[in-house]
A and B are shown apart, each in its own frame.
Chain A
Amino acid sequence: MGTWHDYFKEQGQAPDWPYPIRFDQEQEIDADVLVIGGGIAGCWAALSAARQGLNVVLVEKGDTVRSGAGGPGCDHWCDVPANPLSNVDPDEWAEHMAERPYCNGIGIQIQCRENYDTLLELEQMGGKIRDSGDEYVGAQGRDEKTKFMISPRYGRIHSYIPVDETTKGKTFTSNPEQKRNNVVIRVWGSTFKPVLKRECQRLGVKIFDRVMMTSLLTENGVQGARVVGATGLNSRTGEFMIFKSKSAILATSGAGSMWVISTELGGYCNMMSRTISGDGTVMAWKAGAELTTMESTGILRIATGYKHKWYTGAGDASYENVPIVDANGKRVPFPIQGWVDAGYMVPTPEVEQAVREKILKGEYELPFYGDFPAMPDVERRATWNLMLGEESTTKIIIKTFNNAGYDPSRDLLQNYRFIEGSSLPQWREASYGGGLLVDWDLKTTLEGLYAAGTQMFAPEDHSYAAATGRYAGRKAAAYSRQVGAPKISREQVALEKARVYAPVKRSRGMEWKELHAGIARAMQYYCSEFKTERLLNMGLGTLQKIEEESVPLLFALDPHKLMRSLEDLSLLTYAQIIIHASLARKASSAPLNFQRIDYPTLDPPEWRKYLTIKLENGKVKTGELPLAFWGNMKNQYEAHNKDYTGLYKGK
């Protein structure tokens, strides 16, 4: 009961489209601040700008109540060194985090200075951040006074992998005795998104759900000029939306399925949901904004759709404090992101290889298991009920296991390491560093355009999205107060409208999944493990052929499929940007996971720099920036935030 086929069999016909059809109709909306994307960063940006008393519009592709990577939940408030239980100075922790090559020191500094304030504000809104019901009394890391639950994550250093030089832990000036850093707090994140939406509504933010944004509008329609608005498509009605705004904040995400699309498990074939299609990055690119680190990619490690998605032990995504044992109960020496190993998540390649050899010799027997029954009861509940029960997509996994009769005090949870094989190097994902270049106001290189969360280059996690969103909101609001009314170009709108509706003018040809898979295949062949000038150029050629021959065949039967089709067009452009950026970097790089056969030397000194890329008069233009181009993080932050008063006191 409930499938389309059930309905068809019962009724003898397909259901009518349930929403009014408004193709080609226009709606115009004015805003002081337009926020594009209603995930964690977008909600925080919107409410932060609204606190300044401005007319704020928030536009979201799904429904703001649960949309975005953090929509279903969030298990850890990471890198929150300003919390009262922390043993490190926020600026020193930020500096330490920013030692990682090709990170974003600006965003990290903002996160470390302001994400404790955002956490307390979440509590004001109704989010749960403490063990107020005393469910976990006795758990390690629980503080009786504040009732905060400190996580073992990053207990000694900021690393998932215990690499040699850091296993001993870093000694911070602010933490000379090497106490646990206490910079990660376990939270009840499934409560967060609904209260954020409610707070936006309370502050008068006008929310447009189910609207996919398709382009930015610039002054006189000129590439590189001030951003004065944006266009969108309602994915239920097909209505064309025109937003005029004094400033805009991009708070959308990276591109989730550039290399891998299973046409069968289209929504489930990688870590991110189908809605993650790089729309924001692409609209900023077309408007002339500068991007950086677009050549950086990662290999999919979990949830590829060809793999499970069960969070069953260290090395998959890890769970805290759960020992990994083999089929006979013998402990496997994997880190468990626990108190005993300073929060490390995954084994080193050496440990991984040693375990593999012992499996082949019969010393360990497969499959492995997470030994929940071996844990102290309170730690088991903290991991199963709180950490996994509050995290994004694991909440439903835990619920499904519980309903099926699984009991963590009695049952070992199966781990799929080794028996499921490894991801192919051709199964990659883009969202490993590429994004919009921003300055200390989180302003992009375009006047009037700001970025937050995953939309920025080298983004981090949930609390990073919250802190940078809130920051971008107040900076964009300050800008909007100073500038005049925006004037959009009707010609630019007309061109975009023609582009948007082209697939619904056709009723046959190529549907979105086939096109998506074609783009993914091109990226697998020409922009993966083996990169050369020749292969990358062949990739550009293939994508151009897709643009010229397949895109004109793209058809969509309804507004929803039109949205999916437009996402493909975003992915296509995003793929081209990645290849252009890959051509520009004529050196291999370990931290960027970037291998050029024709330039094999890893990270030669002259290539240790950010490469930037943008469109200028329709032509691709690359540039460069030194590592740590943001300057002294503490000084810069303070110089740009003299008016920052910390915790919001209410309105």
Chain B
Amino acid sequence: MTKEKLSAMPNVITPNAPVIFNPDICNGCNTCVEVCQIDVFIPNPEKGKPPIILHPDECWYGGCCVNDCPRPGAIALNWPLQQRGYWKNKATGEVQQI
């Protein structure tokens, strides 16, 4: 893949996306911005759009942003890969992970 112009960007902070917004469902009400203890988000400058994750590295994964969202499916928690839990089907023994 060739691009004519690339910006010189620093590494992204990891984990970078403690939540994932669904822009088709989110209406930018900013409830998540307000309930977050940490102020991980800021409102999107464009009204009606999902907030911007400004401080992903400060997330406590407390989940209030998801729990209190008035539009189910608009925001989902996205656990860092290293933190995703496992389970096992007792009958089949099949192991699965978040």
Contacts and interface: CB of A to CB of B under 8 A. Distances in A.
A274 B38 contact: yes
B16 A267 contact: no
Interface in A56-110: 62-63, 65-68, 71-72
B37 A410 contact: no
Interface string B86-98: 1111110000101
A62 B63 contact: no
A393 B20 contact: no
A18 B43 CA distance: 7
Contacts of B56: 3
B35 interface: yes
Interface residues of B, number: 54
Contacts of B90: 329, 371, 373, 410-412
Q: Is the interface of A mostly helix, strand, loop or mixed?
A: loop
Contacts of A235: 39
B5 to A, nearest CB: 11
Interface string A371-395: 1010000000000000000001101
Contact of A264 (B52, B57, B86): B57
A62 B39 contact: yes
A363 to B, nearest CB: 20
A411 B16 CA distance: 30
Contacts of A414: 85-88
Contacts of A564: 58
Interface centre among A71, A210, A266 (most CB of B within 10 A): A266
Nearest to B95: A414
A359 interface: no
Contacts of B89: 410-412
Interface residues of A, number: 61
A67 B37 contact: yes
A243 interface: no
Nearest to B96: A405
Interface string B28-61: 0000001111111011110000111111111111
A592 interface: no
Interface centre among B12, B37, B39 (most CB of A within 10 A): B37
A63 B67 contact: no
A303 to B, nearest CB: 9
Given A18-B42, A66-B68, A267 B57 contact: yes
Contacts of B66: 396, 399
Contact of A65 (B34, B57, B85): B34
Nearest to B87: A411
A15 B42 contact: yes
Contact of A15 (B14, B52, B61, B87): B52
Contacts of B54: 4, 560
A16 interface: yes
Contacts of A65: 34-35, 68
Interface in A391-410: 392-393, 395-397, 399-401, 403-406, 410
Interface in A620-639: none
Nearest to B17: A3
Contact of B59 (A4, A18, A267, A411): A267
Nearest to A412: B88
A3 B53 contact: yes
A329 B98 CA distance: 22
Q: For the complex of A and B, list the 3 residue pairs with the smallest distance between their C-beta atoms, beginning with the closest.
A: A396-B63, A273-B60, A62-B37
